[in-house]
Amino acid sequence: MSALPRVRELPPSASGRSRHDPLLGVAHAALSAAWGLTAALRRQRPVPEPERTHTLTVADRRVVAQDRDVVALTLAAADGSALPRWFPGAHIDIHLPSGRVRQFSLNGDPATRDSYRIAVRRIPDGGGGSTEVHDDLAVGATVTTSGPRNAFPLSMPGYGSPTQSFRFIAGGIGITPILPMLRQAQGLGVDWTMVYVGRSADSLPFVDEVTRYGDRVEIRTDDVHGLPAADDLLGDCPDATAVYACGPPPMLTAIRTRLAGRDNVELHFERFAAPPVVDGKPFSVCVASTGEVVEVNADETLLSALRRSGVAAPYSCQQGFCGTCRTRVLGGTVDHRDTLLTDPERDAGTMLVCISRAPEGERLTLDL
């Protein structure tokens, strides 16, 4: 999403210093005054931009792990028309019949233009999205989708990246964004290896699709090899390696810690869960519709506190990139921690409750 022009700063000169043109100063003052005068109007505007959606039909459904807890769905337009293009690492939003919105990585072949393939692991104690997919999306069911979007893009060595080889690391269902990356790396003849880890062989989806790459792929399961250490995940990882990792938080933390200070290794990763709260302070929110006050602890997200208190708030990625949890702020100061909202959106009184917070002791009033 491109940021709108900022009008609060003078344009810098070519040498990096501020210009001192008096006419620019007058123009800046006028713009600043206009910005301030229209603040109230901007607060009234609905902020979310409409995103194009598609109604797709479940054209195929296949169990892809021996434990039967992962299903792959092929989604296609009813008239067979081409769908928007995508590239490895992309995901789509699925708007489920219940109203839940969830993101799923596209894991098929980007060259297939008339369908998307996603895969979903059943998580019985999750937020309900995965069980809804498993239980309610039979072949023939329709869902609304938006996207694709890509928060985990692949930069190819020799095609915009200074690296020379890939190390792919997938944990369980984290294989889904990696699968199209393997296909692309293999197709372009780039040097790559992968380690694929999980609890047991039964739990790993798409084993048949990764083993066809032969010795490039190592499969390690906890029941046979024990929990993998960072060096097991990274392999020899020489300089000029690009690491692409997707899996559970402890796996990603181990990789990030091990690569600290390795400036010649690129690390790209995607989470499946909310990141841990860093430097959080306690604050509170008032739910405008009921007057209920919810205390937010230093180590929990605002979204977690709302859910703990039974306050309904939409969410999906829980990482500040999808925008599903946009909420209007009617009062209080926000500590914005996302990279999605533009300054005008923030100025208009919008926050992402999954990741943004408030200063210590602050009370926010939310339009919930």
Q: Three-state SS across 123-157?
A: CCCCCCHHHHHHHHCCCCCEEEEEEEEECCCCCCE
Is residue 173 within 8 A of residue 121, CB to CB? The reply is yes
Report the residue number, 108 or 323, with the smaller CB distance to ligand FES. Answer: 323
* Beta carbon of residue 133, minimum distance to ligand FES (angstroms, whole number): 18
Report the residue number, 167 or 271, with the smaller CB distance to ligand FES. Answer: 271
Report the residue number, 115 or 324, with the smaller CB distance to ligand FES. Answer: 324
Return the beta strands (E) in the chain as ranges: 53-63, 70-77, 90-95, 101-105, 115-121, 142-150, 165-171, 191-198, 217-221, 241-247, 265-271, 283-287, 293-296, 326-331, 350-352, 363-366
* Beta carbon of residue 316, minimum distance to ligand FES (angstroms, whole number): 5
Report the residue number, 184 or 318, with the smaller CB distance to ligand FES. Answer: 318
Residue ranges of alpha helices (H) inside the chain are 22-37, 39-44, 129-136, 175-187, 207-211, 222-225, 230-234, 249-258, 302-308, 343-347
Residue ranges of alpha helices (H) inside 228-295 are 230-234, 249-258
Instruction: Calculate the alpha carbon distances from 253 to 75, 225, 230, 260 in Å.
Output: 33, 20, 9, 11
**Can you tell me which residue has the tokens 């979007």?**
149
175's tokens: 């294989």
* Beta carbon of residue 58, minimum distance to ligand FES (angstroms, whole number): 24
Report the residue number, 149 or 183, with the smaller CB distance to ligand FES. Answer: 149
* Beta carbon of residue 330, minimum distance to ligand FES (angstroms, whole number): 19
Report the residue number, 228 or 323, with the smaller CB distance to ligand FES. Answer: 323
* Beta carbon of residue 315, minimum distance to ligand FES (angstroms, whole number): 4
Dist CA 89 CA 161 (whole Å): 16
Dist CA 259 CA 20 (whole Å): 45
Is residue 219 within 8 A of residue 207, CB to CB? The reply is yes
Report the residue number, 115 or 316, with the smaller CB distance to ligand FES. Answer: 316
Give the sheet arrangement for strand 293-296, strand by strand. 293-296, 283-287, 363-366, 326-331, 350-352
Dist CA 192 CA 278 (whole Å): 34
* Beta carbon of residue 351, minimum distance to ligand FES (angstroms, whole number): 10
Report the residue number, 296 or 317, with the smaller CB distance to ligand FES. Answer: 317
First-to-last C-alpha distance (Å) of the chain: 26
60's tokens: 């195929």
Is residue 66 within 8 A of residue 106, CB to CB? The reply is no
Q: What is the binding site for ligand FES (CB under 6 A)?
A: 315-318, 320-325, 352, 354
Report the residue number, 233 or 322, with the smaller CB distance to ligand FES. Answer: 322
Report the residue number, 171 or 323, with the smaller CB distance to ligand FES. Answer: 323
